[in-house]
Structure 1
Amino acid sequence: MTDTPMEDRHPMTGNRMSDEESRGSHGIEHHKYDVVVIGAGGAGLRAAIAAHDAGARTAVVCKSLLGKAHTVMAEGGIAAAMGNLWPDDNWEVHFRDTMRGGKMLNNWRMAQLHAQEAPERVLELEDWGALFDRTQDGLISQRDFGGHRYARLAHVGDRTGLEMIRTLQQRTVQLGIDVFMECTVTDLLKDGDKISGAFGYWRETGRFITFEAPSVILATGGIGKSFKVTSNSWEYTGDGHAMALRAGAKLINMEFVQFHPTGMVWPPSVKGLLVTESVRGDGGILKNSEGKRFMFDYIPEFFKAETADTEEEADRWYEDKKNNRRPPELLPRDEVARAINSEIKAGRGSEHGGIYLDIASRRTPEFIRKRLPSMYHQFKELADVDITAEPMEIGPTCHYVMGGVEVDADTELSAVPGLYAVGECSGGMHGSNRLGGNSLSDLLVFGRRAGESAAAYTSGLGDDRPAISDDDVRAAEKHALAPFESTGGENPYSIQQDLQQKMNDLVGIIRTAEELTQSLKEIETLKERARNLVVEGHRQYNPGWHLAIDLRNMLLVSESIAKAALERQESRGGHTRDDFPGPNPEWGAKNLVVSISEDGESVMLNPQPLPPMPDDLKKFFD
């Protein structure tokens, strides 16, 4: 055992780093790469693998430990039109389902590429060792999910995301890609208008670190921790969204926040924890406190031709899926979440403020334990509920943001040269509402494209690579340390708690102009309070300091969501306005683009027309 301090060791090998490698001009740890990926979920790891395979020296930087990404919570499966159960399924049908689920606000080119390339990405994952459930013929099994015409989700029980992360993580380590774990990036660095790298710190020691790289790929996930009730883990504080804005990129579709219909509601310690859509895909039904299967009362006109009208017709669908209309529990998530919310508001909710999800009366205990092992253990261990014998109490929970960094569909390049975004922190692919299972195939398809594009961009620069500015590093360091310099200010936890409550109450699943206007006033007040945050103690092991840094991002992203939600005067997908209850064709032809003000303290909105869809794709919607 050597006495070399841990902060002087390489994050992967544990070897002492050279002075040139480990120290920059400020005594800050410094590294040079061709491509740096921020985030180690499915999108980040797939992007890193692609960049490495394209010849780029690549690193992955993640807030948490490798393998702990929020992708593991995507339990149901990977949407891909492989046709293993229904030969009639193909990319055209998947494309159509995705566009209709997003209420036609999707970037059509992204939806097209996603549908076309998803099957190949799933097979690639299998080649790397993913162990999918099989059909009787030995093919990858596929299950039903809301909004999908056919059963097309490749799955591993209800632990698909975990298997994806395990496979991609193993591949990343096998290839020798450097991974900087428990390392938070706080700022993107630029040379003129081009990305030159990133600045961050080790969460354990508090010591600063810089990454010099012409290409940075953001794969930081979502924004759920700005809301009180969420399925998201602690990392989801909108870091990628906010850093991209401050670097000069734009955000799109930020008003569209998906509230997953089924999150746990009891006990309070696990409120919001995800209950996979696989429960409904495998036959679970929704009931109110009166025992009524209420979803038949909420079938929108848009889906009536494809949705069962009676319980008998819905029940037949599970036995003869090709020729019968699907049960209303498998409508897109936004429709189901609104229906559940309406039942609760009408006083027909469960004992703890949710409604009931029942699979026990529909499937045998053996079937449930085999197909839904995680859900069985989750409810048994956390709520003392046996889902093979009794219904679950569930309710909507903030789950996914459709909005994110505006990128080129083919390359995932933002408006800033050298800055790419993939996964949940990118926008456009899902329009106003994401279909279940499309997130995991989204990660694979566009992660690969971003990695290849970033490597090609760096290679094309030759020796003319952008450099990190000492002044920018000093500014980033000063801002990160600001909470230690303040006196007489507030604890960051009190501000986060107030932000979460305000977002839940005023920018939640049902919105009004009055509440949204109030939310923007509240956010401005919170921003003023956050300017005088106080953190006590030292930089080592200091979660209060971590949160103080995260709050900067959470407030900026929350303002983006609220401002866009106030501007969009219609209801569409994940955005529901009580004062504008229906969709408006005028709004259905444009997106709202968010950019940052010159002082970097507030957001601005501009409408932008949707890119026109070519005629050969329009025919699918005639």
Structure 2
Amino acid sequence: MVNIEKHWYDVVVIGAGGAGLRAAIEARLAGKKVAIISKSLFGKAHTVMAEGGAAAAMGNVNSNDNWMVHFRDTMRGGKFLNNYRMAELHAKEAPDRIWELETYGALFDRTKDGKISQRNFGGHEYPRLAHVGDRTGLELIRTLQQKIVSLQQEDKAKYGDYQARLRVFAECTITELLLDSSTGEKRIAGAFGYYRESGEFVLFEAPAVVLATGGVGRSYKVTSNSWEYTGDGHALALRAGAKLINMEFLQFHPTGMVWPPSVRGILVTESVRGDGGVLKNTEGKRFMFDYVPDVFRKQYAETPEEGDRWYTDPDNNRRPPELLPRDEVARAINSEVKAGRGTKAGGVYLDIASRRPAAEILKKLPSMYHQFKELADVDITSQPMEVGPTCHYVMGGVEVDPDSAATPGVLGLYAAGEVSGGMHGSNRLGGNSLSDLLVFGKRAGEYAAAYTDGLGKRPKVDDTQVAAAVEEALTPLARDGGENPYTLQSDLQDVMGTLVGIIRRKGELEESLNRLAELRERIRKVGAAGGRRYNPGWHLALDLRNMLVVSECTAKAALEREESRGGHTREDFPKMSSKWRQVNLICSLTPDGDVDLTHQPIPTMTPDLLALFEKSELAKYMTEEELS
């Protein structure tokens, strides 16, 4: 008989990054009993890697900025495939969420007149990113954690128990969501998982679950993502009956470290370019001027002199092309390397040393200075950085209602942050992730709490589902001679990096699906030596199931979408198609566990929002029928 620790909560939040903590705070403020599940140590969420800032149109540096400009920039960056309502809510509510953080104790950098400072970033028309040096994500997590602690202190004063209404379960992995279908509808009843240290199983009975598990980057060898990003939330949602939207759109951040090999892929913040850094090839040329797409010609400078004036002249709106959206910059770097103008390690040079005084670099980019000094023995105040594209962010994710963050088809299931899809369209602008976490984390927690208020009675956990989850978790440990999970992960990463990378082709995508089908059979036979305590091989064996199904969704959708848009580049279909802009690709699971792919029309933008764009610009993205 396997022992299972049991808990009873109103709302369970899976993920302890920015979205998860903000959701938990909101649900707790609504009076609910809330559990926060952290796969790693509490405070080590991947949100800390978001260094440059949080985008919010506060107008502190340039008073011309407002939510409408932010909305336009977000839609342009996403190539008009965004869920317009999510982009609208995000642009309108981001400033309030940033100011709210100040009331929680966040210490943002300030302007000379004492306002929250805001810096330039790629794709944003005005300086818009509220920042704390280049450690903004760390400050966000620190602040939200402190708010969690303050709420727990209130509980201790009121109930005599520090964890009476809000508890963190650190180093705990959820492997299955549990459903109650007794009413004919799928309803969340709880979540099943295990403690990573001891291997002991744990069951959370709860009518509402918020997924805030982040991304999928560990399916790629070269990635800025930490080890937790194995697509857990995406896969949990799929198996529960929810759907994933537009999983073909993966963002390859243009600047990750490329040398030495041991640190390849570690993020180099966009703040370096936002503060004046420029990209050069091995011939010493600022090559980005050769890669400005026609749709961005009006917004971007044509000469270095014009681009440099943008940093000091508020009336010069033509940005340097180093601040193009990330997908454009990543493709340009990739093209320079393929043309033989890259470094031996396969990157290009990012130069801030010749552009800013050493003292200013140390003040604004302290983490970058220490990162390169410690990991690559490069002094960025006197030497250029060597950088190249790295798998960074997935724009696709769990399909949600834009206002409530609820998943259609599974009552009581919500998603926020990177695990959710729609907000960013085909490409995310830098800085939009942190404000996205706050805006939709709050909404997910708010609506999850409201959902529990409306229940007549709580959904009931099905013991047969629990038994099946236990068996699924234990199977790799009982399998003698099973395949090594590390070998399987390496093979999966090789398929995705080689065949479903930054540039895609039909034949390679078809090959990837064949190889993923082979891996599916091999992963079904994965084994893990030893017992449940302190067993990372077992942990990976369980994660592989999630990584595989999410990779299948990405590859299938990439093969289906016959155009190039944002983070999805097809060499055999190099242009955007107004027909494909009208299509969301939806992945779900069949009863046999296979990935099913269908088309779904994107929501039609309201006339008041369409009026924010010039018709000539919309004509580059939309059909004549849509424009009429």
Q: TM-score if structure 1 supplies the norm length?
A: 0.95
CA drift at 1:459: 1.2
Find the counterpart in structure 1 of residue 450 from structure 2: 456
Residues 1:339 and 2:328 aligned together: no
Residues 1:296 and 2:289 aligned together: yes
SS at match of 2:597: strand
SS at match of 1:123: helix
Find the counterpart in structure 1 of residue 385 from structure 2: 392
Find the counterpart in structure 1 of residue 315 from structure 2: 322
Find the counterpart in structure 1 of residue 179 from structure 2: 190
Report the residue type matching 1:103 in the other structure. K
Give, in whole Å, the separation in 1 of the partners of 2:315 and 2:266: 33
Q: Extract unaligned runs of 5+ from structure 2.
A: 153-165, 615-628
SS at match of 2:587: strand
1:207-264: CA deviation from partner (whole Å, max 9, x where unpaired): 1000000000000000000001000000000000001000000000100000000000
SS at match of 2:449: helix
SS at match of 2:386: strand
Give, in whole Å, the separation in 1 of the partners of 2:570 and 2:215: 22
Residues 1:436 and 2:436 aligned together: no
Find the counterpart in structure 2 of residue 18 from structure 1: none
Give, in whole Å, the separation in 2 of the partners of 1:26 and 1:213: 21
Find the counterpart in structure 2 of residue 129 from structure 1: 105
Find the counterpart in structure 1 of residue 246 from structure 2: 253
CA drift at 1:174: 1.7
2:544 pairs, out of 547, 551, 556, with: 551
Give, in whole Å, the separation in 2 of the partners of 1:321 and 1:230: 36
SS at match of 2:297: helix
CA drift at 1:324: 4.0
Give, in whole Å, the separation in 2 of the partners of 1:496 and 1:253: 24
SS at match of 1:178: strand
Find the counterpart in structure 2 of residue 491 from structure 1: 484
Where do residues 211-610 of structure 1 align in structure 2 (5 Å cutoff)?
A: 211-415=204-408, 416-462=410-456, 464-600=457-593, 602-610=594-602
1:449-495: CA deviation from partner (whole Å, max 9, x where unpaired): 00010000011114x11011110000000000010121222100000
Contact 1:313/1:324 (CA < 8 Å) preserved in 2? no
Give identity over the alignment, percent. Answer: 70
Find the counterpart in structure 2 of residue 210 from structure 1: 203
Find the counterpart in structure 2 of residue 110 from structure 1: 86
Find the counterpart in structure 2 of residue 617 from structure 1: 609
Q: TM-score if structure 2 supplies the norm length?
A: 0.94
Contact 2:398/2:420 (CA < 8 Å) preserved in 1? yes
Give, in whole Å, the separation in 2 of the partners of 1:47 and 1:272: 30
Give, in whole Å, the separation in 1 of the partners of 2:340 and 2:518: 34
CA drift at 1:173: 1.9
Find the counterpart in structure 1 of residue 163 from structure 2: none
Provide the aligned length of Structure 1 versus Structure 2: 596
Give, in whole Å, the separation in 1 of the partners of 2:19 and 2:383: 37
Contact 1:316/1:324 (CA < 8 Å) preserved in 2? no
Contact 2:20/2:212 (CA < 8 Å) preserved in 1? yes
2:76 pairs, out of 100, 115, 120, with: 100
Give the aligned CA root-mean-square deviation in angstroms. Answer: 0.8
Find the counterpart in structure 1 of residue 119 from structure 2: 143
Contact 1:527/1:555 (CA < 8 Å) preserved in 2? yes
Report the residue type matching 2:85 in the other structure. R
More moved, 315-324 vs 346-355:
315-324
CA drift at 1:562: 0.2
Give, in whole Å, the separation in 2 of the partners of 1:221 and 1:504: 20
SS at match of 1:306: coil
Report the residue type matching 1:616 in the other structure. D
CA drift at 1:322: 2.9
1:52 pairs, out of 11, 19, 28, with: 28
SS at match of 2:577: coil
SS at match of 2:454: helix
CA drift at 1:26: 5.8
SS at match of 2:254: strand
Give, in whole Å, the separation in 2 of the partners of 1:408 and 1:196: 20
Give, in whole Å, the separation in 1 of the partners of 2:209 and 2:308: 49
